[in-house]
Amino acid sequence: MQIITTTAALDKLCSDLSSDKFITVDTEFMRERTYWAKLCLIQIAGTEHEAIIDPQADGIDLASFYQLMANEAVIKVFHAARQDVEIIHHLSGVIPKPLFDTQIAAMVCGFGDQIGYEPLARRLVNAEIDKSSRFTDWSRRPLTDKQLNYALCDVTFLRDIYQILQTQLDETGREPWLAEEMRVLTNEDTYQTDPTRAWNRVKFRPRKKVQQAILMEVAAWREEEAKRRDVPRNRIIKDDAIGELAMQAPKNQDALSRLRAVPKGYANSRHGEAMVAAVKRGLARDLDTVPEVNQRNRHMPEGTGEIAEILKLALKITAEQEGIASRIIANASDIEAIAADNNADVKALHGWRLELFGRTALDLKTGKLAIGLRDGKAAIFAVGGSEQKMKAAE
């Protein structure tokens, strides 16, 4: 096993890997105590090379690694790439391109929703991975050989997994489907931490627009403060406290001190003053500029719920028939949106998803298609005509 701890060794490795058609990459990181993930380890493998790069080694310069990530002549293969790409982009400004995410490719190829690396490796290459090092603190040194071997497995088996999935994509003609998903992962906007959208992360569902307005302002303040101090969001204030702030709308620090979810002494601190100011900004907002409260709290038009249930069954039938994970076609929000509006702006009504499922969904709504039973199994039929689709629904 090659452990890279010097800039010279890293430069040589990256030079060698730059001639490969594809490389496999993974990172280990810690973010329990920070806002930004701390890069602790990089695993990388090519046709003839495999190595672990220690970004914590004294004096090591990762420039050649980032140059390799930007080299568009080499395909970068990750499994569940989003967090890895986010870390690389934050540290270097680079987004690895071209990118191949084996988790998304596996969904396109019908291996289930968000399948993990270990079960995928077991199914495709019969690999047995020792999981005992899964919860390693990767920031600690020294790491044991067992821990390093576990980390390296994340890229060695990935080489064969990638080639198997790429072959399946080529055989089924689904490469363009994956390419559409990769455009999202390689878009810089995907990794922007916009404080004005931080409210989407908070586990609180407002019932009124004024609560939504306060939620937006307090969440934005927390995001900016956590980023500035480089600490986890919940270290600033927890979600349940934000929810209580939105519902109770304290207009001064005395009122803030009476909230159960706000830690004792917090109200009279600098943070308490800032939270009250955020609440006041929320109360002062023009509610016409505030998004509708969460869909789960909105009343769906009469009959829409029944339509949504039919469309969910149609999605299940279609996904099983086509051998693709249903989640990559549409999610519950997409289904509800289509049930309510034939022109809903959701991914399921665009591109390959429209051809695979969207048109079927719309034809079910207009009565051109129907779901019935054939040999005791659910299937989609053309009304008054021949069978349109048939696939068992478990």
Domains and CATH numbers, the chain: 2-191 (3.30.420.10), 195-289 (1.10.150.80), 299-390 (1.10.150)
- 287: DSSP letter: G
Exposed e or buried b for every residue in 133-165, given b needs 16+ CB within 10 A?
beebebbeeebeeebbebbbbbbbbbbebbebb
238-242's contacts with Cβ under 8 Å and 24+ in sequence apart are 239/202, 239/203, 239/204, 240/203, 240/204, 242/202, 242/204, 242/215, 242/218
Q: 377 and 392 in contact (C-beta within 8 Å)?
A: yes
Match 């990750």 to its residue by tokens: 78
Asked whether the beta carbons of 186 and 99 are under 8 A apart, the reply is: yes
At 294 the pLDDT is 57
Question: What pLDDT is stored for residue 130 in this prediction?
Answer: 85
The DSSP output letter for 201 is G
- Rg (C-alpha) for the chain, rounded Å, is 25
Residue 50 in contact with residue 77, Cβ under 8 Å?
no
pLDDT for residue 265: 87
**Largest separation between any pair of C-alpha atoms in the chain:** 74
In angstroms, the CA 380 to CA 365 distance is: 13
Gap between the Cα atoms of 381 and 375, Å rounded? 13
Task: Calculate the alpha carbon distances from 121 to 43, 53, 157, 235, 383 in Å.
Answer: 17, 23, 7, 36, 43
Which residue, among 201, 205, 225, has the nearest Cα to 277 in the 3D structure? 225
pTM confidence score: 0.87
The residue ranges of the chain whose pLDDT is under 50 are 295-297, 386-394
- pLDDT for the residue 390: 47
Q: Torsions phi, psi of 157, nearest 5?
A: -70, -25
3-state DSSP call for residue 28? strand
Residue 308: what residue type?
A
